[in-house]
Amino acid sequence: MTDRFRLTIAQLNPTLGDLPGNAALAYGAWQQAQAAGAQMLALPGLFLSGSPLGDLARKPAFLDDCRRTVEKLAADCAEGPAIGIGAPWRVGGRVHDAWLVLQSGRVTAQVLRHGGDASFDPAPISGPFAVDGLRLGCALGADALSPEVAETLAETGAEILLCPAADPYHRARHDHRITHMVARVVETGLPLVHLNLTGGQDEWVHDGASFVLNPGGHKQLQLPPFEDAVAHVDFIRGEGGWQAEPGVMAPQPDEWEQDYRAMCVALGDYMRKSGFRRALLGLSGGVDSTLVATIAADTLGPENVRAVRLPSVHSTQHSLDDAAEQAQRLGIRMDTLPITLGQQAVTETLAESFAGTTPDLTEENIQSRLRGVLLMALSNKFGDMLLCTGNKSEVAVGYATIYGDMAGSYNPLRDLYKTRVFQTCRWRNENHRDWMRGPAGEVIPPAIIAKPPSAELRPGQTDQDSLPPYDLLDAILEGLIERDESTASLIAQGFDADTVQRMVRLVQFSEWKRYQAAPGPRLSPRAFGMDRRYPLVNAWHDPG
């Protein structure tokens, strides 16, 4: 029996549904494992298919294709190290989240996730499997978050725990994983490998950050977040059992850098995997579009970002100047398309229908929708992806125009509150990283961060004409959305009752807008979309 075991771990970025491409990534990592003399290559959960799959996980033709791809990969890697790879797997009439062990040209073990969910059926706990005489136990995905599976594996002879995952990022998620995995190590006395996907998929961002723990919870290896990485981990058997030797210890950035990187990765992968290379956005001179332009430049390179000013009679000169300076600092292209003539044409067309009425929000929304028409025309004509620029505060209370500034394919700020938008701009001005393709230095003019936010749809307008100050608004929204607090609870904390009740109504009445809003990256545990869904028609109101 061996006293040394080399395990190659690979945190990589699959494309959902690209089974041949993902299998090719797995084969490339397997070749590295073979060259390093490893006994096994371990890949993350659902690596072959990508994640999250939704109802695709239960499509028979897709499952058949997954099986054929796994069988071909097993045959291609018959001579060399074993492979562990995650895939959706049909067993009888049930569909499982599986981690498959490939050795000698075939599937020699299948670990089925014990806990089920909307996509996958539950299964009995799978026991340990052997590779070169070493008994490995696999707690797949969410199975690793509770003691039951790991303790069962330890009791049935597992010597090392593998925890492959397809775990999406949110703020403080890595610390959450570490806490749970340390608990599994302490409970079982076994070393543990946590292995995660990288890359963006729709609203999810998989942040990698895989790690290895020794008995006692001591971290021996830490891979970087948001980056593909392959590492070789040597396990040595001593008198007290197996221990991992020390490896790379990549630093973990603070939450501001992690959020910023997540937005960049999400945008870049959404565009690349959808077949887009260039981005387009309206640049108003406000802080939200400024941050989106900066994210796009850092992700795609300034040469692949096109900004457009769309002034109306209500646009201020300082906003036009701020937008021009922003484009110049980032080195992105900027065009100017006034909406004045279009606004006049629409006004004349509607004059008879609107006779006897007073101008109101309708006329303001026409301006926003005209901008959406022009931006979508540019997107259609030149094949650039139009980006949205609404922050989470605006998305929450519906402070946006449907079919206007909500037009677009992806919204990098969808889960970032307005107060965090300001702070993220300050962070970016003070920080530059090698992976950023935009310029270093103070790329966002301080005047943009400092000025009062305004949609500039009427003379002298500011956001605070319609909303509370953003620090107050965000404090209320965080209670309502992130912590599900009641109206009564928020009022008891000292918030003004009328303000709280008005914000509660706005959040509830804006659900229909969110159903039609562009997707964006999940940065918090309660992002709109996958994490928080309410009915569109809902007669219940918090009586608080």
389-421 pLDDT per residue, tens: 999 999 999 999 999 999 999 999 999 999 999
Chain-centroid distance, C-alpha 123: 28
Instruction: Tell me how far apart the terminal alpha carbons of the chain are, to the nearest angstrom.
Output: 67
Mean pLDDT of the chain: 95
By three-state DSSP, how is residue 52 classified? coil
CATH code for the domain defined by 256-465: 3.40.50.620
Query: In whole angstroms, how far apart are CA 202 and each of 275, 381, 485?
Result: 14, 24, 28
Cα–Cα distance for residue pair 327/311, rounded to 1 Å: 16
pLDDT in tens, 231-267: 999 999 998 899 999 999 999 999 999 999 999 999 9
Q: Count Cβ atoms below 10 Å from residue 292 Cβ, excluding itself.
A: 29
Quote the CA–CA distance of 198 and 166 in Å, as a whole number: 8
In 3D, which of 512, 521, 498, 350 has the Cα closest to residue 424? Answer: 521
**Contact status, residue 507 vs residue 477, Cβ threshold 8 Å:** yes
- Write phi, then psi, for 540 (nearest 5 degrees): -80, 135
By DSSP bridging, strand 241-244 and strand 229-238 are antiparallel
Q: What is the pLDDT of residue 457?
A: 61
24-71 pLDDT tens trace: 999 999 999 999 999 999 999 999 999 999 999 999 999 999 999 999
| Answer CATH for 4-246 from 3.40.50.300, 3.30.300.30, 1.20.1250.20, 3.60.110.10 | 3.60.110.10
The Cα–Cα gap between 487 and 483 comes to 12
Using CA atoms, how far residue 203 sits from 13, 104, 116, 226, 387, in Å, is 15, 38, 22, 15, 14
The whole-number pLDDT of residue 454 equals 63
pLDDT score for 106 = 97
In contact, 350 and 369? CB cutoff 8 Å? no
Domains of the chain by residue range: 4-246, 256-465
DSSP 481: I
- Per residue in 182-209, pLDDT (tens digit) is 999 999 999 999 999 999 999 999 999 9
Res 1 pLDDT > 60:
no
Higher pLDDT, 316 or 423: 423
Q: What is the mean pLDDT of residues 421-445?
A: 98
Structural element, H or E, at residue 309? strand 305-309
Q: In the prediction, which pLDDT does 465 show? A: 67
Q: Which helix (H) or strand (E) holds 221?
A: strand 218-222
pLDDT of 109 higher than 70: yes
Please state the rounded mean pLDDT for residues 291-307: 99
pLDDT at position 456 is 57
- H or E segment and range at residue 271: helix 255-274
pLDDT in tens, 461-507: 676 767 899 999 999 999 999 999 999 999 999 999 999 999 999 99
Report how far Cα 509 is from the mean position of its chain's Cα atoms.
26
pLDDT-above-90 percentage for the chain: 91
Q: What is the pTM of this model?
A: 0.95
pLDDT tens by residue, 515-541 = 999 999 999 999 998 889 899 999 998
